[in-house]
Homo-oligomer: A and B are copies of this chain.
Amino acid sequence: MYMRTQKINTRRILQTTLLMMILLMSFILPASAGTIEDNTEAIENLQIALTFLWLVVAGAIVFFMHAGFSLLESGLSRTKNTVNILMKNLMTISFGILIYWAVGWGIMYGADFAGLIGIDQFFLKGADHEMWNGWWFQMVFAATAATIVSGAMAERTEFKAYLVYVVIMVAFIYPVYGHWVWSGSGILTAGFLVDLIGVEHHDFAGSGVVHAVGGYAALAGAMVVGARLGKYRNGKPMAIPGHSLPLAFLGTLILAFGWVGFNGGSTLDANDTYISFVIVNTFLSAGAGAITVMLITWIKTGKPDPSLTANGLLAGLVSITAACGSVTNGSAIVIGIVGGTILYAGVMFNENILKVDDPVGAIAVHGYAGSWGLLAVGIFSIGIGNGILADASYAAEGAGLIYGGYEQFLIQAVGLVINIVWAFGISFVVFKLIDWTIGLRVSEEHEIAGLDEIEHGINAYPEFVMVKE
């Protein structure tokens, strides 16, 4: 009989029967231990090979997210700045590879100094297969954090100034905070803070490490570089529509696809059956985020807004990135709904209150929804070893507020404060220094002419007739 889902069950029954037969035989007969060890070793090698392979594939899928960012950001920019933003994204990954190899990895995962920073393994010195494998998967994350910034600063930032920032981001800003959370010996998962509060900070796949760091760095950058010409007239924000919605939507879907690698890969162990659970929570939150923003914009303006809705999907994804291995399906949906709401509120807040000009909404998607993601762990975490997390290995230690725990929420909040202070603070300083030295912003004349023409001497669509401004 052809049965699509019941197949594995049947196999399991057969295997259990077989296992019981083997057990019986093992009482009757003695055994040949030599080949047992060979098998054990072969099994161990297979487990390692499976994990290595999965992280190669998951890393590839995350690498492809750079195509997603390229399209989302260029689609939401104007034609005169299209090639410039594509180039910025291409060079982010190109520099990201070399810099995270030379410096970033060592700072993040090298031998710990005082819980603050890694101090060896630069240039992947002494690397074995495990380190190469780990580097590939971590590198694509580092480059993601960096590329978030490019979108928020699009259409008016000097190309070379941006490159200088990327190098500093991938070499230092990202890996230092990453060390605090993901190295196993950083201040947020070991030492006095953890002793004090009683549980470790939990950020499964990087709502904080990747997205909030990128988002607050983007906020700093957007503030220092200032709004685009024409964005504010008499203090009121003007709409500057993106030049190609198909590119933006394709970018969004590539990013969503990428999240399979981003969250799914972050168990760092292909033998961990929780990967499926992680994926389900991830996409429930994504769907909830998109639908929420669609409804909000529909109610507010009478029309469901496409680019905000696409950003709602991304906000759902960012929001669940820390918590996806620690919460129920139902909680994942709530996290996505709140994440979508925060995206909408955040975009309005940036545009109308902060008066920060973010052409693609990156600050709200990654910074604000990422912050929510960190707190959401503290609210919805089941607590490792409880309920459906009975045998989980990658979940938040403590139970969240809705289950009566408060320690996890506390350490999440502490981590968030540290995240904002670090990512915003140091980025603000770095952008100011860049501005004072080599100059962060193109001239007014150049901004009007467009960065493609001025910085690259090229036209994204040379054969198409454009509307006069």
Contacts and interface: CB of A to CB of B under 8 A. Distances in A.
A405 interface: no
Interface string A259-289: 0110010001111111111011001101110
Contacts of A22: 32-33, 35-37, 40
A202 B291 contact: no
A289 to B, nearest CB: 8
A348 interface: no
A183 interface: yes
Contacts of A6: 183-184
Nearest to A23: B37
Given A1-B190, A467-B462, A132 B279 contact: yes
Nearest to A274: B129
Interface residues of A, number: 161
Interface stretch (A77-85, A229-237, A361-369): A77-85
A303 interface: yes
Given A7-B269, A136-B280, A463 B467 contact: yes
A52 B50 CA distance: 12
B464 A464 contact: yes
Contact of A277 (B129, B284, B462): B129
Contacts of A272: 49
**In terms of DSSP, what is the predominant structure of the interface of chain A?**
helix
Contacts of A184: 1-6
A406 B159 CA distance: 44
Contact of A276 (B79, B133, B275, B458): B133
A39 B33 contact: no
A404 interface: no
Given A200-B1, A279-B132, A287 B26 contact: no
A72 to B, nearest CB: 11
